[in-house]
Chain A
Amino acid sequence: MVLGAGVAGHTAASFARRWLDRGDSVTVVSPKPDYNWVPSNIWVGVGLLKPEKVTFALAPVYERAGIEFVQAAAREFHPEGDGEDRTPYVTAENANGKRSKIPYDFLINATGPALRFDKTEGLGPDGGHSLSVCQPAHAAQAAAALDDEVERMRRGEKRRFLVGMGHGTCTCEGAAFEYIVNLEFELRHRGVRDRAELTWITNEYELGDFGMGGMQLRGGGYVTPSSIYSASLFAERRIDWITRAHVSRVEPDRVLYETLDGLQGEQGFDFAMLLPPFSGVGLQAFDRGGAEITERLFLPNGFMRVDADYSPRPYEQWKAADWPRTYQSPEYRNVFAAGIAFAPPHAISVPRKSPNGTVIAPAPPRTGMPSAMIGKAVARSVVDMIAGADAPTRTASMAEMGAACIASAGANPFKGTAVSMTVFPIVPDFERYPEHGRDPAGTFGEIGLAGHWIKIMLHHMFLYKARLRPGWRWIPE
């Protein structure tokens, strides 16, 4: 059973189905009927794509592939079964509120994040004062709001745009970065750039940290930190920035924030796209007797404990080896977590607090390529354990794998650009690479039109792969 049909869950279910015998079943439990290629939500948010171009219905794809699909949200997790039956099961709730027991032999928890707009007063599109691009519907709402702003600017008004992080512990800085540079490009394209004032607000200590502790890139005879490139791009495009900030409240026309030095500030806006912090989805776990064991299986932030080293240690003692390799639960050998659902042992960026004790540091990103690779590795381990292996057979440590990433900086086939990046490894390993924690030969970045062409290619390729069209498995994660 796979909980969740995002990048990690869908990849795990697809490969498990392909590798398992027809006598075995693969069941996906997900509350949403659609698959969403999340990286392209950015383009929905600036009005370049409609939501249906980044989503498709899962049911017919799973039916064709022989995967059972239950559209429901997992609520409870009974890894020992109950008093009547020792078969482990999950309790899932459908849209009508009806709960059902779904038994499993092996479970992959790929439930992704809960979007915690509630962590900041006034944050978010549902009852708050800011917009989001986390989901296609949110992104479409942002696009409609952008159209209104453009109309006002065409009438001669000046408008203020604020984009970034809605809380001091957010992750996915890269996605918001893509949004603000695409927004700037789109405002230029629509001929109203001169009437727009753009500001980036972030919990990063320096621009270009992206929750990965930044990157060091070789070129021109120097090893240059990503902060230099990010500041350069912002200065070139006249985007102002506020770093080291925790947004504490969002009001209809301004945000209040605290910075790492303990100062309070405010920034006015007419249009704000601010990402929320994440947590786990809040699954509860129970033992055979019905006693709650959630704390044994999950960290307080709701993400699932796996084979990582969660011993609390100061930053100086963090090691690459702390990061999980097999993603197996230490409590139950038939339970795994993949993608955002697994609990990282700690952040990647340096942890920091303001004098008031407010944490202002990015959480570690684990989306896209690593999520898919973890999903695939976990699926292989499960398939091998079903075939008789005693323990997981595959590893996919973020401290041993690299990532290739394309960050769109403006979508146009002739004038668009994107930043193409590779890093190796994702989690710096200072024992192996003492200077910067990463292999300088595997860490690279470049901005240009070629990156945009690759981004377009990947959009179509990954949606083709996710639809499980012929040859899908040959497209790498």
Chain B
Amino acid sequence: MDPDKTHYVTKPTKRTVFMRTFLPWQAWRFAVINMKMIGMIRLSHRAQHPK
């Protein structure tokens, strides 16, 4: 892979990569993401309003 290409790309820190699979943090994120998605689903279903 061309190093010039990747040099200008944002890369995650070790801590960020670690947190992606750190179980206690991910259990919390599981709850948060579910809430966000339920909110989006509710919002979208409300868009199916009567014409």
The interface residues of chain B lying within 8 Å CB-to-CB of A376 are: 48
Task: Please tell me if the beta carbons of A240 and B1 are within 8 angstroms of each other in the complex.
Answer: yes
Q: Tell me, in angstroms, the Cα distance from A61 to B40 when the chains sit together.
A: 30
Task: Please tell me if the beta carbons of B37 and A414 are within 8 angstroms of each other in the complex.
Answer: no
The interface residues of chain B lying within 8 Å CB-to-CB of A256 are: none
Question: Per-residue CB proximity of A444-457 to B under 8 Å, as 1/0?
Answer: 10111111011000
Stretch binding the partner chain, chosen from A98-106, A163-171, A229-237 = A229-237
Given contacts A235-B6, A326-B51, contact A369 B20 (CB under 8 A): no
Instruction: Please tell me if A228 contacts chain B, counting CB pairs below 8 Å.
Output: yes
Task: Please tell me if the beta carbons of A451 and B33 are within 8 angstroms of each other in the complex.
Answer: yes
Q: How far is the CB of A453 from chain B (nearest CB, A)?
A: 6
Instruction: Please tell me if A124 contacts chain B, counting CB pairs below 8 Å.
Output: no
Task: Please tell me if the beta carbons of A448 and B29 are within 8 angstroms of each other in the complex.
Answer: yes
Interface SS, B side: helix
The interface residues of chain A lying within 8 Å CB-to-CB of B5 are: 235, 240
The interface residues of chain B lying within 8 Å CB-to-CB of A391 are: 51
Task: Please tell me if the beta carbons of A402 and B40 are within 8 angstroms of each other in the complex.
Answer: yes
The interface residues of chain A lying within 8 Å CB-to-CB of B36 are: 404, 420, 422, 444
Task: Please tell me if the beta carbons of A449 and B10 are within 8 angstroms of each other in the complex.
Answer: no
Q: How far is the CB of B23 from chain A (nearest CB, A)?
A: 8
Q: Tell me, in angstroms, the Cα distance from A157 to B23 when the chains sit together.
A: 36
Question: Per-residue CB proximity of A219-262 to B under 8 Å, as 1/0?
Answer: 00000000010011011101110000000000000000000000
Question: Per-residue CB proximity of A325-342 to B under 8 Å, as 1/0?
Answer: 110000000000000000
Task: Please tell me if the beta carbons of A238 and B1 are within 8 angstroms of each other in the complex.
Answer: yes
The interface residues of chain A lying within 8 Å CB-to-CB of B29 are: 446, 448, 450
Question: Per-residue CB proximity of B19-51 to A under 8 Å, as 1/0?
Answer: 111010011011001101100110111011111
Q: Tell me, in angstroms, the Cα distance from A393 to B5 when the chains sit together.
A: 52
Instruction: Please tell me if A182 contacts chain B, counting CB pairs below 8 Å.
Output: no
Contact of B48 among A377, A425, A444 (CB under 8 A): A377
Contact of A447 among B20, B50, B51 (CB under 8 A): B20
Q: Smallest CB-CB separation from A240: which chain B residue?
A: B1
* B residues in contact (CB < 8 Å) with A: 1-2, 5-6, 9-12, 17, 19-21, 23, 26-27, 29-30, 33-34, 36-37, 40-41, 43-45, 47-51
* Closest 9 A/B residue pairs (Cβ): A450-B30, A401-B44, A450-B29, A235-B9, A404-B37, A400-B47, A449-B26, A422-B40, A235-B6
Q: Can you list 9 A-B pairs, Cβ within 8 angstroms, ordered by A?
A: A232-B11, A369-B44, A395-B47, A404-B36, A442-B40, A451-B33, A454-B33, A454-B37, A476-B45
